[in-house]
Amino acid sequence: MKRRMFGALVAAGLVSALIAGCGSSNTAATEAAKTAESAGTAGAESPAGTSGGAEAAAGTESAGGATAGVIWYNFADTFIANARQCLGNVAAADGTIKISDADSQNDITVQDNNFNNFLTQKPKYLVINNINNPAADSIAKTCTDNGIVAIFANTTSPSDDAFAQNENLWYVSSVSTQSGENMGNAIVEYFNTHENWDRNGNGKVDFILLQGMQTFSDTINRSSYSLAAIEGAGYELGKNIGGDDVTGVKGGDSINGVLCNFSRSEAQTNVEALIANYGDDIDCILADNDDEALGAIAALQAHGYFTDESNTIPVVGVDATVAGCESIKNGTLLETSLNNPVKLAKSIYKLMYLLEKGEAVTTESIGLDGVHVEGHKILIDYISITKDNVEEASYDINDTSF
């Protein structure tokens, strides 16, 4: 979807702070709630019966306790749908904090509207799934100026300076470098065990790099750390098919691949076009999430790939969605990384809960396996998922314990 930069607006002369989100889909035993409601403004009713209308969000306190606004970048994203549902379930079961959320529909102008609407409603907490990364510090400052606790979730972090200047600024996200390393290591393992991996015989790894959002830290890290892992294992990078050729990659480098916006359909369309021109050159496909990976696999299957071992191209993704795990089981997806939406949702809620109770936010007080606290940052580990441990890629979005 086309991204439009800063929309006009700002209520009461405030500097416009644009919201955005990160996209990463995820797995689950119960991925039943792929809620793709089209609610473009703040105050949409949260899932699982949580209080969510504009009236409930108006004011820092209500009869049921504190209020929190949540701005998701896109309800239709598989990972976001699961995290949203789980957060709503936990809030409804606990009752300490009332949730009101909004769908920005992967559109910065809509996100801008959502942000400004929440400013007028004055929730105590504002959870921001931000994609307008250059505006992160400005968003944080605007929240501070309005007495709102800002929680950046599953997105690029605000700067160290922003944290130093704002004791009410928090960050909750998975460690994206791990997902990139997992992708690269899986490709290396495949090459090490398949002598015929070099499909055009040029001695180099020619690859397709499917990216989510080029300025998003997860995209940058998944791209650079995966390629750095391949090079680090002694394989020479060849053509970045559809993107800019690179060599000597270091973790954190910004690399231009094929922009697909975490979308399965965009990935399928792009890979279809690339197969037509480079079909004999593709040694592997690295995708920023499972939706993109599945789009690539669909395009490959349409061109006769994956009928047997001789015409299989390794594809890796991220998120360990239900569909992604099914693809691992049937042998079309090589590897994915579990980005757990339940742990994201529970980490967000537990953070607000602890702040509301006046308790310290520590690794111990958050109390979730694979989640650790560094200052005002709550970081969630990835787990590499292959056919050997695919049963580990399970979680229950209806589990309300925290």
Give the bridge partners for 65, in sequence order. Answer: 62
Q: What is the pLDDT of residue 38?
A: 32
**Longest distance between any two alpha carbons in the chain, whole Å:** 69
- Residues 6 or more apart in contact with residue 312 via CB below 8 angstroms: 305, 306, 331
In this prediction, residue 12 has a pLDDT band, given cuts at 50, 70 and 90, of: very low
pLDDT, the chain, mean = 86
> Is 66-174+340-381 assigned to CATH 3.40.50.2300?
yes
Residue bearing the bigger pLDDT, 86 or 79: 86
Give the bridge partners for 44, in sequence order. Answer: 101
Q: What is the pLDDT of residue 64?
A: 52
Distance CA 283, CA 285 (A): 7
For the chain, the domains span: 66-174+340-381, 177-338
pLDDT above 70 for 52: no
Neighbours of 87 (CB within 10 A): 32
Mean pLDDT, range 159-181, rounded to an integer: 96
Classified by CATH at the fold level, domain 177-338 comes out as: Rossmann fold (3.40.50)
Which ranges of 197-303 would DSSP assign to H, the alpha helix?
A: 217-232, 264-278, 290-302
Residue bearing the bigger pLDDT, 60 or 372: 372
Evaluate the CA torsion angle 142, 144, 146, 151 in order and state its sign.
positive
Mean pLDDT, range 192-221, rounded to an integer: 94
Q: Quick: pLDDT tens for 105-137.
A: 989 999 999 999 999 999 999 999 998 889 999
Q: Quick: pLDDT tens for 299-356.
A: 999 999 999 888 999 999 999 999 999 999 999 999 999 989 999 999 999 999 999 9
Type of residue numbered 145: D
Q: What is the pLDDT of residue 312?
A: 96
In this prediction, residue 53 has a pLDDT band, given cuts at 50, 70 and 90, of: very low
Query: Could you tell me how many residues make up the chain?
Result: 402
Output the six-digit token pair for 103. Answer: 């769908």
Type of residue numbered 254: S
pLDDT above 50 for 5: no
- Closest to 270 (Cα-Cα) out of 332, 207, 206, 210: 210
Q: Do domains 66-174+340-381 and 177-338 have the same CATH topology?
A: yes
Output the six-digit token pair for 297. Answer: 């696999």
Q: What is the pLDDT of residue 317?
A: 98
Output the six-digit token pair for 141. Answer: 């400052």
Plot region of 16 (φ>0 → left; ψ -120 to 50 → alpha; else → beta): beta
Q: What is the pLDDT of residue 279?
A: 92
Query: Which phi and psi angles does 349 have, rounded to 5°?
Result: -70, -40
Distance CA 320, CA 337 (A): 6
Strand (E) or helix (H) holding 233: none
User: How many CA atoms are closer than 13 Å to the CA of 364, on its beta-carbon side?
Assistant: 2
Q: What is the pLDDT of residue 215?
A: 83
pLDDT above 90 for 65: no
In this prediction, residue 214 has a pLDDT band, given cuts at 50, 70 and 90, of: confident
pLDDT above 50 for 223: yes
Q: What is the pLDDT of residue 23?
A: 39
Residue bearing the bigger pLDDT, 256 or 23: 256
Distance CA 299, CA 307 (A): 13
